[in-house]
Amino acid sequence: MSGILVLAEHDGGAFKKSATELIGKASELAAALGTQVSAAVVGDAPAASLGAAGAGKVYQVQGDHSSYDAAAMASAWKAIVDAASPDVILASASYVGKDALPRLVALLNTGMGSEVTELRAEGGAVIGRRPLYAGKLYADVQISSSPAVFSVRPNSFPQPGAGSGEAEVVTVSAGAQALTTVVETLQPTSTTADLTEAERIVSGGRALKSAENFDNVIRPLAAAVGATVGASRAAVDAGYASHSEQVGQTGKTVNPTLYIAAGISGAIQHLAGMRTSKVIVAINKDPEAPIFEHATYGIVDDLFEVCPRLTKAFEEL
């Protein structure tokens, strides 16, 4: 094999957790396949620092790419792929990954395994495992064309141990022009991790009964746990939370280490967005709620009694 290339995303020069997570997993796969790991960086970011995560070489398209454009991003990635000639490409199943990565796959005329949660080396190839039908089934995906492209749900693999080395940086030119004009960029006011990358999430459902209760019960618990706030579609439709906080089939797909669902029944549309969570804690006074079939831990009680007690206990810790 000629190598594994990780498309490393960053936000204003700060690499996302998914970037180092994927480089760590790529290093594990490369060791089994007897090949090397490289990374792709588009825009101004400390590319050499990715050597500490395990990248031996980083291909960088420099310049101001802060105004995101899907076609320009795919073109920049294509220039890097042409320079690196990898056999396998790994990317995060983030907003950018879902938007620009399929364009890259089309430019490369190759195949893609989307939103995988597991990767393994077998028979000299990389095989991905992805959930189907809201996690009811899993499919093993092997790409017959080259390079094989996989998008990976964030938090699928542990972060690699921090090293001290720096990667060799190779500058790549990409001349694609953006097809859109960004008029204004609004920065998020929240300091918590984005839902798609959050390791801990506390979600509330329709049982909160009001936006005031949602703010007084769910948000303090999330703050005590160091978690990002999520919500079911029913809670969002009722105006308890914003759509940016919605988890589920029509919201965001998440894959945290800990998912606390308070007052959420567990409809299939919600499960589709969080079923792969490592540990699921369900709080619901209905013992027949479907969420309990998928919960690691279940608390059958009134959330207005349980959540404040949990908040107090976590704050004391």
Q: Which of 150, 171, 192 is the last residue of a domain?
A: 171
CATH number at residue 302: 3.40.50.1220
> Residues 155, 204: one domain?
no
The per-residue pLDDT for 1 is 62
Say whether both 150 and 10 belong to one domain: yes
Task: Scan for tokens 């093993």, then name that residue.
Answer: 140
Give pLDDT, residue 83: 95
* Domain residue limits at 223: 200-316
Same domain, 149 and 16: yes
Same domain for 35 and 128? Answer: yes
**Residue 250 in domain:** yes
Query: Which of 125, 155, 171 is at the close of a domain?
Result: 171
Q: Domain with 64 in it: what CATH number?
A: 3.40.50.620
The single-letter code of the amino acid at 174 is: A
The verdict on residue 184 lying in a domain is no
Residues 64 and 120 in one domain: yes
- The answer to the question of residue 289 being in a domain is yes
Examine the fold and report which residue of 115, 150, 171 is the final residue of a domain before the chain moves on.
171
Our count of domains for the chain comes to 2
Q: Do 15 and 101 fall into the same domain? A: yes
Considering the domain architecture, whether residues 42 and 162 belong to the same structural domain is answered as: yes
Q: Is residue 182 part of a domain?
A: no
pLDDT reported for residue 176: 67
Both 102 and 159 in one domain: the answer is yes
Q: Note down pLDDT in tens along the chain; length 317 residues.
A: 679 999 999 988 899 999 999 999 999 999 999 999 999 999 999 999 999 999 999 999 987 777 788 989 999 999 999 999 999 999 999 989 999 999 999 999 999 999 999 999 999 999 999 998 877 899 999 999 999 999 999 999 999 887 778 999 999 998 766 778 888 877 777 677 789 889 999 999 999 999 999 999 999 999 999 999 999 999 999 999 999 999 998 899 999 999 999 999 999 999 999 999 999 999 999 999 999 999 999 999 999 999 999 999 999 98
Residue 135 lies in a domain: yes
In a shared domain, residues 25 and 147: yes
124 and 61 part of one domain: yes
191 domain-assigned: no
165 with 239, same domain: the answer is no
Q: Say yes or no: 91 and 145 in one domain.
A: yes
Q: Model's pTM, two decimal places?
A: 0.85
